[in-house]
Structure 1
Amino acid sequence: MELFRLSIVYLHLIACCVAIGLVLTSDIAMVNQLIKGGTAGKQENDHLNSLKKTVSLALVALWITGFAIVWLDVSAKGLGYFANPKMQAKLTIVALLTLNGFVLHNAVMPAMEKAGSLLQMEFNQRMLAIFAGAVSAVSWFYAAMLGVGRPLAWKYSLVQLLAAYPALIVTGFVAMAMLTVWSKNRSNPDFPQFVEAYSRKMK
């Protein structure tokens, strides 16, 4: 039974690594696009395709293997297994990650495909896309941290374990929002003249 559980944990870890890799590469591609500009179409499509694969295939694999792990542990330890704050934190993060996946698929991605790029989206849609992206990136990495953080079990409360989670989401959202504002202003034909005039004023 222990070997069977280990094989499921291994598959769970593989799925998590693949998901984090795709999230990281797609986010890096989007940041590069915002910084460099000029290749929005191709990079935006690559980002969307990677994100779709991450949210769908990886989440399905993680739900299946994660459910199997929980079922085996509950069978061995009883329902008291769910009293572990670390397990509660993991379930909370995965639930939020799944809900955020539905938002990405049903609202953000169709709007982004229709607009053509992140910068061409309407303000409210762009803010929703940035927020959902921040939730996705932070949640994947946070869930992975909780997954490998066995020493955290029973040592901290649920509130303590999740204290950094909203702070990281807000930080990621603000950083990406500022980057999109800078990139959008940079694409404005009058931006170079504005920068030059501002520089002269500062002198």
Structure 2
Amino acid sequence: MAEYWEQDTEVLEEYLEKQDFDFSMMDVRFHYALHEASVDPDNYDLTQLFDGTLYRNDARYAVTFVDNHDSQPGQSLASFVKPWFKPLAYGVILLSSYGYPCLYYPDYYGYHAEDVDYDGNQELIDKLLYIRQQFAYGEAARYLDDASCIGFTRSGDDDHPVGCAVVISIGDENQKEMNVGDLHAGETYIDIIGYRKEEIIIDENGSAVFTVDARSISVWVPKEQLEA
């Protein structure tokens, strides 16, 4: 893995090519996109979250991260993702189908300095890691059709015939119709994060309307799998 603090993904791709694609690189542009969404959610367009990122252009070589030692407050490259947005950001990088997600120690254990008093998100990150291990299989179908609310689904694979649906909102309470595959028709999905309390039935085509609270994330998984 290499770190080259450059937002221009073409520069990173040129470097990778010169090195015969022997390693992966930190997706700096994606970090800044997460930062920008966190500091100005009212004016940020989530449909552009992946624009210009290594993740979008060649995800096989993208190391996705929310923050690191360079971006934390007090550093010359300070671009700290606001704490309210970190659960959403980790939902994206941990549950997507591509990229190599990297956890930042202070996001798990907390970060306390002169201008920051942040307890971390250990419980939430543990849930996302569990979901990644148990439900995040198969290709991701993205739904990038709303400036303040996006989502993606994982439909499972031959070895893991389970699925999940992820919905993220940086605005008001919202909802999104998405498809998890007709293999899951008739299944009951619940929000494993625990924010939403309703149950959702997948229709015969594999689709349903998945809800999310304001400025929040919900991850919907088959209820039957949790009870097994």
TM over 0.5: no
Normalized per residue, which structure has more helix? 1
Identify, as 1 or 2, the structure richer in strand.
2
Structure number with larger C-alpha Rg: 1
TM-score normalized by the length of structure 2? 0.28
TM-score by length of 1: 0.31
